[in-house]
């Protein structure tokens, strides 16, 4: 067996007498969430494992379980921290439509800045402190728009789902074509268009017409698509509210 240097060895000059050479900061829930967040931001949610978090903290995976119930809870904790980054509006009933849109846009931007986390948003309603803040904002907005609290609560969920689904869609698209150049993407689109054109027009009249019509999908960029869906959502809400009066 080889001789290995131990921290407590009093003969090493860099070892300050009385305390161990390098006190690693002790494990804590906060430190664990920090480490998890860093992994997600750098490598995406799919790279998050209890083992990776443990390694970042220079310990073994089993040690994490003293501070966190399981991986699911850890992700929820990260998610709630991320929710804290989303700006919420001061509610102005007269401008609820524009405020709701801004809120949704800001939510999308934040969640997209933590790769892969959008998938975790669909795990259930946000129940952490920051999640409740968001709930209050969107439910409050819908309430100010004229919905009962109960209907407004449902509306808050719709908005959250809209953000999550859009973030997820944009992420999976980037994952599939992220490495590809613009040329490669448009080549792929051309191929797909060609495939649609080759379908039997009796059974697929609209898709064939679509392929022939030039643009495959008219809201073309991610942003245009997000905005169009958001417009439809807000229009639907406004129409629903009107129908109740």
Partner DNA sequence: ACCTGAACACCGTTCAAGT
Closest CA to 149 of 135, 160, 128: 135
| CA distances in angstroms from 184 to 2, 64, 171, 181, 219, listed in the order given | 56, 44, 18, 5, 20
Dihedral sign for Cα atoms in the order 64, 67, 73, 76: negative
Inter-residue contact 30 to 67 (CB < 8 Å) = no
Q: Kindly tell me which of 15 and 133 has the beta carbon lying closer to its own copies.
A: 133
Q: CA angle 30-34-37, nearest 5°?
A: 135
Q: Report, in Å, the least distance between residue 106 CB and DNA.
A: 30
Binding characters for its own copies, 131-170, by CB under 8 A (x = yes): -xx-xx--xx--x----xxxxxxx---x--x--xx--xx-
Indicate whether 31 belongs to the interface with its own copies (CB under 8 A).
Answer: no
CB–CB of 82/110 below 8 Å?
yes
Tell me which stretch binds its own copies (CB under 8 A): 1-9, 41-49, 101-109, 117-125: 117-125
Taking the least distance from each CB to its own copies, the nearer of 51 and 176 is: 176
Tell me if 233 contacts its own copies by CB under 8 A.
yes
d(CA 155, CA 165): 15
Least distance (Å) from its own copies to the CB of residue 128? 12
Query: For binding to its own copies (CB under 8 A), which residues are involved?
Result: 122-124, 132-133, 135-136, 139-140, 143, 148-154, 158, 161, 164-165, 168-169, 172-173, 176, 199, 203-207, 209-210, 213, 215-219, 225, 228-229, 231-240, 243
């Amino acid at each position: 067996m080889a001789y290995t240097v131990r921290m407590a060895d009093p003969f090493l000059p860099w070892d300050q007498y009385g305390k161990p050479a390098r006190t690693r900061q002790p494990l804590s829930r906060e430190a664990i969430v920090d480490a998890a967040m860093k992994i997600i931001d750098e490598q995406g949610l799919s790279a998050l494992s209890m083992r990776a978090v443990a390694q970042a903290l220079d310990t073994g995976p089993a040690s994490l379980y003293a501070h966190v119930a399981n991986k699911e809870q850890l992700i929820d904790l990260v998610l709630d921290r991320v929710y804290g980054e989303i700006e919420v509006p001061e509610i102005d009933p007269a401008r609820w439509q524009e405020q709701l849109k801004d809120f949704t846009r800001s939510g999308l931007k934040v969640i997209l800045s933590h790769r892969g986390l959008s998938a975790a948003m669909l795990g259930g309603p946000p129940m952490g402190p920051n999640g409740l803040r968001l709930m209050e904002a969107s439910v409050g907005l819908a309430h100010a728009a004229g919905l009962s609290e109960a209907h407004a609560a449902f509306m808050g969920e719709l908005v959250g789902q809209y953000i999550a689904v859009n973030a997820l869609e944009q992420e999976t698209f980037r994952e599939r074509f992220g490495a590809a150049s613009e040329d490669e993407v448009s080549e792929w689109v051309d191929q797909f268009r060609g495939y649609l054109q080759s379908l039997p027009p009796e059974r697929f009249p609209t898709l064939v017409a679509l392929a022939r019509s030039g643009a495959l999908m008219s809201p073309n960029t991610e942003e245009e698509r997000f905005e169009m869906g958001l417009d439809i959502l807000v229009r639907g809400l406004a129409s629903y509210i009107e129908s109740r009066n």
